[in-house]
Amino acid sequence: MKRVGVIGGGTMGAGIAEVVARAGDSVTILERDTTSANAATDRIQSSLARAVKSGRLDNHASADIFARINVTLGIEDFADHNLVIEAAPEIEAVKLDLFRTLDDIVSPSAILATNTSAIPVIRLANATRNPGRVIGVHFFNPVPVLPLVEIVVSLSTAEHVVDHVTTYVQERLGKRTIRSGDRAGFVVNALLIPYLVSAIRMLESGFAGREDIDEGMTSGCAHPVGPLTLCDRIGLDVVLAITESLHTEFREQQHSPPPLLQRMVDAGRLGKKTGQGFYSYT
């Protein structure tokens, strides 16, 4: 895995690219335009600067890491890459189009991975001529800090692909892995999202205020942050997309999106990344 590609330089994609570069491998980020490319570069520089300030990196190491990261506007630049990780927005049609295009560009031996939070991997795999080389590698935000990666195995994923990717993530990237079947939400979000949705419904009903809900779970259950704060960190658009995916797959009431969540996304109040969610960040 000496040449790794990442599609999308948003919060997740930039974090994945940084982790790959920290491991000593060259990484290319695909972005849609110059503005987005510059934003991706800024995210990585800011993250490295925080690591230097905290003493986790020195200036020399930070410069070396950044030098291993390239940003491109052309997907054809992935032609010679061993592994391409898709970290595009959680929109199935967008991801399907990307996998169709990648299938025509990369080497037949290259591995195609998705960082999707909830979309079944088999749907993306079936957009290619070789579904066996497609796998889910679900990182968690912030990627440079959180140690877990879910390895999501579809019904078609080849076992040698699973072994190769798992070894790379564990031994090269230094992450812990858990293996998940290919079901909406995988392991973590299948457990987490109903909890978050319950907190949103509690706020929506007026039963408790946002600070009391969050304080209840931090001080009463030793959670590092409360559920509404966590929603803001994840991004309410991402929470909504995962909720809708879970509801489509299981048709259970606990997975139905609360109206408040939908209205906040409609209003552009997506959480920390937009400066306003359940809390204000301006």
Tell me the catalytic residues. Answer: 117, 138, 150, 189
Go through 242-266 and write b for each residue having 16 or more CB atoms within 10 A of its CB, e for each that does not.
Answer: bbbbbbeeeeeeebebbeebeebbe
The DSSP symbol for 157 reads: -
Residue 196's contacts (CB-CB under 8 Å, 6 or more residues apart) are: 227, 230, 231, 239
Write the CA distances from 100 to 36, 125, 131, integer angstroms: 23, 9, 11
Computed on alpha carbons and rounded to an integer, the radius of gyration of the chain in Å comes to: 19
Residue (of 33, 19, 113) closest to 69 by Cα position: 19
